[in-house]
């Protein structure tokens, strides 16, 4: 059985990728992108009279991936250190004799592979960004529906003070929105590459810069002011954006996983038939949260590899450029899967407001210690009020300890204490903050 070239179709790849994103990352997609660059190069040269139009059309006609064997090209790539050399050789052999001198005219292997990887990133970015948008929509729906749902906030892993689940979801929403905007910007700025042997385009003569601009136009890419053979900022911007996106989805996933713990039980993943255990029939595991978290653990290493590889020497790197190819594709793969799973997780998330309130109440009012101290501070001073409430919080029954303290009773009656211990009264600007996040989301949504 011949293994599939699509990451999603591999035994483990389906756990980290998304089918529609991976369809733009497989061997066939990369091969077609390389051929698209060769076709655009021929057209751009013909546009400026550097080769006959008939030769350009002959070359374009042979730039179809199904006519080539990516496995054979991959094996042949070992001799040259990249797959462009054997591809150009095969493409040259396929075109009519008069067109052969014009195949790959003025370019070097890095021009083709850099531009092809940029094309792959842009093409994979389209479905990837749709998944991010869907995740944002789902987070926005949760934020709006639970704008006023009280929830226990947790800081440094400990019970802290009241918040709302709407604000929790709004934080997820804003993280996704910012990551989406950064990725959109990075993809839109990705440039074509055409520099020739050493970045001077000497083989194209005075028309070189114009041909480079025309190449970019044919491919729908940005035209850089200079070739960027060893100046890898465009890919670093993309890597940073993808890493930030994976981190944003990971933050959501970690929160969902923690909130879904049996002892917490404030949310649960939806989806019939998902989350089963091979050993424990009673379990319902938060599978999407687990897999998105896994992607978030892997993403930073890939980003680090791309940044490390970007320190490149002279006019062409000896290994740094080669080190980028697979980590970049892997990072796109992970980001696609994390985004798709985050969207599914949030769209099907089951929220339990009664359990959120029960967890608040189970704290015995101590999570409102800040609220009590704030009521006492005008009379006692901030430090004295803080110390008094700290002592009361050390007692088994926080409310009873407050009411038994003469300094508290001198300034707060029983109704005042109960009012201070109502979590709905200590939500601050949670509601307006939710509204702000929703406004950002709506402004970014076509």
Give residue 159's pLDDT: 93
Q: How many CA atoms lie within 13 A of 57 on its CB side?
A: 3
> Do 72 and 199 share a domain, yes or no?
yes
Q: In this structure, what CATH number is given to the domain that contains residue 204?
A: 1.20.200.10
Segments forming the whole domain that contains residue 378: 357-444
Q: What CA–CA distance (Å, rounded) separates 11 from 177?
A: 32
The number of beta carbons lying within 10 Å of the beta carbon of residue 278 is 6
> Please, are residues 273 and 282 in contact by the beta-carbon 8 Å criterion?
no
| Boundary residue ending a domain (356, 371, 406) | 356
Rounded to 5°, the CA angle 297-299-305 comes to: 125
Which CATH number is 428's domain given? 1.10.40
Q: Which of 118, 114, 107 is nearest to 208 (CA)?
A: 107
Listed residues 291, 323, 356: the one ending a domain: 356
Tell whether 349 and 378 lie within a shared domain.
no
Q: Is residue 379 part of a domain?
A: yes
**C-beta neighbour count of 5 within 10 angstroms:** 18
DSSP symbol at 14: G
Kindly report each contact of residues 416-424 with a partner whose C-beta sits within 8 Å and lies 24 or more positions away, as own/partner. Answer: 416/375, 417/372, 420/368, 420/371, 420/372, 420/375, 421/365, 421/368, 421/371, 421/372, 422/368, 423/150, 423/162, 423/357, 423/360, 423/367, 423/368, 424/150, 424/162
Task: Write the DSSP string, 167-178.
Answer: HHHHHHHHHHHH
Same-domain pairing of 388 and 242: no
Total count of domains within the chain: 2
Say whether both 266 and 372 belong to one domain. no
Structure token pair of residue 342: 């985050």
Residues 35 and 126 in one domain: yes
Is there a single domain that holds both residue 222 and residue 322? yes
116 and 127 together in one domain: yes
For residues 137 and 222, state if they share a domain.
yes
Q: What is the pLDDT along the chain (446 residues), one digit of tens a residue?
A: 344 567 777 777 788 899 999 999 999 999 999 999 999 999 999 999 999 999 999 999 999 999 999 999 999 999 999 999 999 999 999 999 999 999 999 999 999 999 999 999 999 999 999 999 999 999 999 999 999 999 999 999 999 999 999 999 999 999 999 999 999 999 999 999 999 999 999 999 999 999 999 999 999 999 999 999 999 999 999 999 999 999 999 999 999 999 999 999 999 998 766 655 444 455 578 899 999 999 999 999 999 999 999 999 999 999 999 999 999 999 999 999 999 999 999 999 999 999 999 999 998 899 999 999 999 999 999 999 999 999 999 999 999 999 999 999 999 999 999 999 999 999 999 999 999 999 999 998 87
CA 190/CA 183 separation, integer angstroms: 11
Other CB atoms closer than 10 Å to residue 225's CB: what's the count? 8
Cβ neighbors of 66 (< 8 A, separation 6 or more) are none
Q: Residue 81 falls within a domain, yes or no?
A: yes
C-alpha gyration radius of the chain: 29
* Both tokens assigned to 405: 């303290």
**1 assigned to some structural domain:** no
Do 270 and 378 fall within a single domain? no
Examine residue 92 and state whether it is found in any structural domain, yes or no. Answer: yes
Residue 275 included in any domain: yes
Task: Centre a 10 Å sphere on the Cβ of residue 118 and count the other Cβ atoms it contains.
Answer: 25
Q: Is 283 found in the same domain as 419? A: no
Spatial distance between the Cα atoms of 118 and 114, rounded to a whole number of angstroms: 6
- Which tokens hold the place of 231? 């100046």
The C-alpha atoms of residue 68 and residue 417 are separated, in whole angstroms, by 78
> In sequence order, which residues have a C-beta less than 8 Å from that of residue 256 and are 6 or more positions away?
267, 269, 286, 288, 289, 345, 349
Task: For residue 2, tell me if it sits in a domain.
Answer: no
Rounded Cα distance between 45 and 40, Å, is: 8
In a domain, 426, yes or no: yes
Could you tell me if 398 and 364 are in contact, meaning their C-beta atoms sit under 8 angstroms apart?
yes
Residues 39 and 13 in one domain: yes
Calculate the CA 231 to chain-centre distance: 24
Known catalytic residues? Answer: 277, 316
Same domain, 310 and 375: no
Give the residue from 332, 356, 380 where a domain finishes.
356
Q: Is the separation of the CB atoms in 288 and 346 below 8 Å?
A: no
Per the document, the length of the chain is: 446
From 343, 389, 392, 1, select the one nearest 180 (Cα to Cα): 343
Residue 420, in any domain of the structure:
yes
pLDDT at 280: 47
Other residues' Cβ atoms within 10 Å of the Cβ of residue 419 = 15
């Amino acid at each position: 059985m011949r293994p599939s070239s699509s990451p999603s179709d591999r035994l483990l790849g389906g756990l980290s990728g998304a089918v529609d994103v991976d369809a733009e990352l497989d061997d066939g997609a990369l091969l077609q992108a390389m051929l698209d660059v060769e076709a655009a190069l021929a057209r751009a040269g013909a546009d400026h009279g550097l080769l006959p139009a008939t030769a350009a059309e002959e070359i374009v006609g042979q730039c179809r991936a199904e006519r080539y064997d990516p496995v054979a090209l991959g094996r042949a790539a070992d001799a040259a250190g990249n797959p462009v050399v054997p591809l150009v050789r095969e493409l040259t052999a396929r075109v009519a004799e008069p067109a052969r001198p014009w195949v790959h005219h003025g370019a070097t292997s890095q021009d083709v592979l850099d531009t092809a990887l940029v094309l792959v990133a842009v093409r994979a970015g389209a479905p990837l960004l749709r998944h991010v948008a869907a995740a944002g929509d789902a987070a926005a729906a949760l934020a709006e529906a639970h704008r006023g749902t009280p929830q226990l906030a947790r800081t440094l892993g400990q019970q802290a003070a009241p918040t709302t689940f709407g604000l929790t979801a709004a934080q997820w929403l804003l993280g996704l929105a910012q990551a989406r905007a950064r990725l959109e910007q990075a993809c839109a700025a990705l440039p074509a590459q055409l520099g020739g042997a050493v970045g001077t385009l000497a083989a194209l003569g005075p028309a070189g810069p114009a041909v480079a601009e025309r190449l970019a136009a044919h491919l729908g890419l940005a035209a850089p002011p200079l070739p960027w053979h060893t100046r890898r900022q465009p890919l670093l911007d993309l890597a940073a954006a993808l890493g930030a996106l994976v981190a944003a989805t990971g933050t959501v996933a970690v929160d969902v996983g923690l909130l879904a713990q049996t002892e917490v039980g404030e949310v649960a993943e939806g989806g019939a038939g998902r989350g089963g255990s091979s050993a424990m029939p009673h379990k319902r595991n938060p599978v999407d949260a687990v897999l998105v978290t896994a992607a978030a653990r892997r993403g930073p290493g890939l980003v680090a590899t791309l940044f490390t590889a970007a320190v490149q020497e002279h006019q062409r790197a000896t290994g740094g450029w080669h080190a980028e190819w697979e980590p970049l594709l892997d990072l796109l793969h992970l980001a696609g899967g994390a985004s798709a799973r985050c969207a599914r997780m949030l769209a099907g998330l089951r929220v339990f407001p009664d359990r959120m309130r029960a967890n608040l109440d189970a704290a015995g009012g101590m999570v409102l210690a800040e609220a009590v101290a704030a009521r006492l501070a005008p009379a006692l001073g901030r430090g004295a009020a803080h110390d008094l409430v700290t002592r009361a919080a050390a007692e088994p029954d926080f409310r009873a300890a407050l009411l038994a303290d003469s300094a508290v009773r001198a300034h707060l009656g029983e109704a005042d204490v109960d009012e201070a211990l109502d979590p709905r009264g200590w939500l601050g600007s949670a509601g307006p903050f939710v509204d702000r996040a929703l406004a950002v989301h709506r402004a970014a949504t076509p």
